[in-house]
Structure 1
Amino acid sequence: MAHKHQHIHANSGDSKVAFAVALNLALTIAQIIGGIVAGSLSLIADALHNLSDAIALIIAFAARKIARRPADGRMTFGYDRIEAVAALINYTTLIVVGFYLLYEAVLRFITPSEVTGWIIVFVAGIALAIDLATAALTYRLSKSSINIRAAFLHNLADALGSVAVILAGTLVILFGWHWVDPLTTLLIAGYILWQSATEMPKVIRILMLGSPPHLDIQEVITALEQTPGVISVHHIHLWMMGEHDTALDAHVVHDAQADPGALRQTIKQQLSAKFGVGHSTLELEKPQDCCPDTNQIGHRRHSVQQ
């Protein structure tokens, strides 16, 4: 089955990302001030999350710019993978923030402090509006960029966090339940850590040259070996060059009657149409010239003699 993807177009949506960054930075400042005045840890926790989102958007914005650069002598595959690197940085930062918030929330349980509920509700209400606005700005872009998608999901998480903070402030006003504030902080931190742990493996898969999760490599091998003229395949490498670009290289053993040029073209067309492989490199071999190492997936590693 072919897989269609939306690719990043040059300069597409840059102004929206820049505006989203400005909104999140302004929100972070307002929440930190409100949290200090109100004595609310949960409000400061939400501010730190918003700050991490702003930083994530800045990194994603820069990565989008770099990713558009064409391949050159230093980066022969191009610069697309910089977006995966940026995403890894963003999620790593989120994990650090999440653990810090857990630490602060536990300390607040041990040493409770008074919080001003109405300030929490007011500032968190503003935060909720800005979170939703930022999510709206990045929604369409999130379909084509792993960085922007992460930022979009973060803003939805922020919106949920703002709802939780509003609830905490309301309970403080109505019932004087100050313990709800650190509890809300624990929930926000837990969500941050859960979200990061869920998304990071996808980024690592790209950086580790993993095969696309939607493709079954055995299905690809079967399709190749069922191609008329093909006897067997080996040394297959299937990997993601970037979030949307799949590549394959392989050694193909063909029978004597097959035309190597026509067979190569047939296989390339099949890989593109059926599996969405945009870049394929094929080495065609006759049975008598087949290389001795015939590992089907990958190749045998040779130790370096000292």
Structure 2
Amino acid sequence: MAGEVVFGLVAHSLALLADAGHMLTDAAALGLAIFAAAMAARPAQGRWTFGYKRVEVLAAQINGLTLLVIGVWIVYGAVRRLIDPPDVEGGIVLVVALVGVVVNIAATLLLSRASRTSINVRGAFVHVLNDLAAFIGTAVAGALVLATGWNRFDPIASLAVAALIGWSSWGLLRDSTRIFLESAPAEIDPDEVGRAIVSADEVVETHDLHVWTVTSGFPALSAHVLVEPGADCHAIRRGLERMLVERFGLDHTTLQVDHARASTTPIELTRLPRG
């Protein structure tokens, strides 16, 4: 990385300097990912009733923010160099970028073996994948500068890399923010879950239905369920729990099941009387 900074300054290449800055954040991202994974593995205790699982989500959001900052910095530098391009040493850019491609292919293959169901691991993987793409773009720009002598290929390549970084940053920030705001998982429709609950035998209605994500791969549900007078609340709860696991993959559920009063007026998600 230090060598890339030196060669970037010698070659007057923004693309190499941008890659060096991205590699610095990669190292920080990987360190943060390892720390977050270690914290997430710690058991729940005291006031931390869910443990430290959302540290992984926080790490992913930090990674997304650093990617965004890097992308903005690259765009700023690229626009300046498009207006007033310096002389770029295309040969140096090409050689250094090709070395970076080899190193990042190895890192990408290593991380690709890890499970990317974790948003934290996915954040680290996106960092390294973006770095690989950046080096490929830089190598192409170096070759074109070397072949044509047109120095603006260097900032153009930087803008392409910045676009990729911005797209990746948006994905991480969107997904981590959805978890922090306790939005329902993208693959689970709360309305469909509610209809499935009230379609069960002897269920009258359900309300206060909440579906959220504690951390990646850990969806949770809570609901208040009213059943017909005289129905077996415990048996119905167990049946609903099995259905929620089988149909929606919800194995962390909290269901309060009570008998409905005779005068109860259904409020929402009420089953229609059987004809």
Partner of 2:55: 82
**2:78 maps to 1:105:** yes
1:55 aligned onto 2:28: yes
Q: What amino acid is aligned across from residue 86 of structure 2 in structure 1?
A: S
Q: 1:217, 1:295 → 2: CA distance?
A: 13
* Structure 2 equivalent of residue 227 of structure 1: 200
Q: In 2, are the aligned partners of 1:40 and 1:181 still within 8 Å (CA)?
A: yes
Match of 1:166 in 2: 139
The residue correspondences of 1:1-306 to structure 2 (distance < 5 A) are 28-288=1-261
Q: Report how many residues are paired.
A: 269
Q: Which amino acid aligns with 1:41?
A: L
Residue by residue over 1:170-213, the C-alpha shift from the partner in whole angstroms, topping out at 9 and shown as x without a partner, is: 12212111111111111111211122113321111111111110
| SS at 1:88 equivalent | helix
Structure 1: runs of 5+ lacking an equivalent: 1-27, 297-306
Decide which moves more: 188-197 or 85-94: 188-197
| TM-score of the superposed pair, with normalisation by structure 2 | 0.92
Q: Give the secondary structure class of the aligned counterpart of 2:252.
A: strand
Indicate conservation of the 8 Å contact 1:253/1:290, yes or no.
no
Aligned with 1:202: secondary structure?
helix
Alignment deviations for residues 138-191 of structure 1 (CA, whole Å, 9 cap, x no partner):
002142321221222332222222111111111221211111111111111121
Q: Tell me the distance in 2 between the aligned counterparts of 1:141 and 1:115.
A: 38
SS of the aligned residue for 1:228 comes to coil
Q: Which moved more, 1:154-163 or 1:62-71?
A: 154-163
The Cα shift of 1:292 comes to 9.5
2:233·2:259 contact (CA, 8 Å) conserved in 1?
Answer: no
Structure-2 change in CA distance of 1:232 and 1:143 (3 Å): same
TM-score, length of structure 1 as denominator length: 0.83
| DSSP 3-state at the match of 1:45 | helix
Structure 2 residues not aligned, in runs of 5+: 270-275
Distance in 1 separating the partners of 2:130 and 2:93: 18
User: How far did 1:277 drift?
Assistant: 0.7
Identity fraction in percent: 37
Q: CA RMSD in A?
A: 1.8
Q: Tell me, what secondary structure is at the counterpart of 1:246?
A: strand
Q: CA deviation at 1:261?
A: 1.2
Cα distance in structure 2, aligned partners of 1:193 and 1:187: 10
* Matching residue of 1:3: none
Native 8 Å contact 1:142 1:150 kept in 2:
no
Q: CA deviation at 1:285?
A: 2.0
Give the Cα–Cα distance (whole angstroms) in 1 for the partners of residues 255 and 80 of structure 2: 60
